[in-house]
Amino acid sequence: MQQTHDTGLPFMKMHGLGNDFVIVDARVDNIEVTPALARGIGHRQFGVGFDQLAVIENGEADAHLVFYNADGSTSAACGNATRCIARFLMAESGKSELTLTTERGTLYARDAGGDLTSVNMGQPQLNWHEIPLAEEVDTLELPIEGGPSATGMGNPHCTFFVEDAEAIPLTEFGSRYEHHPLYPERTNVQVAQVIGPDHIRMRVWERGVGITLASGSSSCATAVAAARRGLTGRKVQIDLDGGTIWIDWREDGVWMTGPTCHVFSGTLTPEFLGSLG
């Protein structure tokens, strides 16, 4: 990362429903993103601040994406960041459909019209060892108080269905279950209130981040869990703290559709980068 110490590091700030990201485009310059760099950029007082950091790299498809949490840990999937980057790449290339690769696998994105972007997040992981869980249990109703469901979307999820999502003290609740021993890699935590057969209210605690205004992969996991439990159909509207997203669990995967926003572009200074060591 020597060159960025000398010249600075360009970045973009984007969000999907208030789920905010720093995006680094590493397709031209050889930029090495380390956990320390991710933590530094992610600090909302000493850095820029984000829910996730995403790096755009060259790949066999239109681009390859790598994701970091604010604590410097990595994530195989980040749905809202994928939608944001897809919108940016479609505007750049003039394409209306893209193929993106991630640690999660190959994802397909398309322009859904009306400034909305859709991404196919792939099929959910429903077997205990794929999510992963620490032992073989029924993923539809875990042996945890409240009987939550476990779902993998390239990252682990624990979804609680509750009568009133607003009444849950999410800071305490989320931090407690993120580190539950049944989840060896920690987990994202959702509290979901079913409003109707095609409508859910959901709040999110993200692994390695905390409370976020939205989460694409959490929305996908919650929609899958609700459909598996017979609480909704396979196509639902999910109202998050930051706005509304639409999930459609089809034969070819879980499609997620929602708005994105490119807030600003900037450059991290050599002074800041040098302070990270």
Confidence band of 208 (pLDDT split at 50, 70, 90)? confident
What is the per-residue pLDDT for 2? 43
Measured CA to CA in angstroms, residue 82 lies from 7, 32, 117 at distances of 27, 20, 10
What is the per-residue pLDDT for 4? 58
Confidence band of 5 (pLDDT split at 50, 70, 90)? low
Residue 1: Cβ-neighbour burial (10 angstroms; 0-12, 13-18, 19+) = middle
Give the CATH class of 149-251.
alpha beta
Span of 69-83, 121-135, 194-208 with lowest mean pLDDT: 69-83
pLDDT at 96 over 90: yes
- What tens digit of pLDDT does each residue of 167-192 get? 999 999 999 999 999 999 999 999 99
Strands (E), the chain: 9-16, 19-25, 52-57, 63-69, 74-75, 97-102, 105-113, 116-120, 149-152, 156-161, 188-196, 199-206, 210-212, 235-240, 243-250, 253-259, 261-268
pLDDT at 3 over 50: no
Confidence band of 64 (pLDDT split at 50, 70, 90)? very high
Topology agreement, domain 2-120+260-275 and domain 149-251: yes
Give the CATH class of 2-120+260-275.
alpha beta
In the chain, where the domains are located: 2-120+260-275, 149-251
- What tens digit of pLDDT does each residue of 227-251 get? 999 999 999 999 999 999 999 999 9
Do the Cβ atoms of 107 and 122 come closer than 8 Å?
Answer: yes
- Residue scoring higher pLDDT (98 or 79): 98
What is the per-residue pLDDT for 104? 84
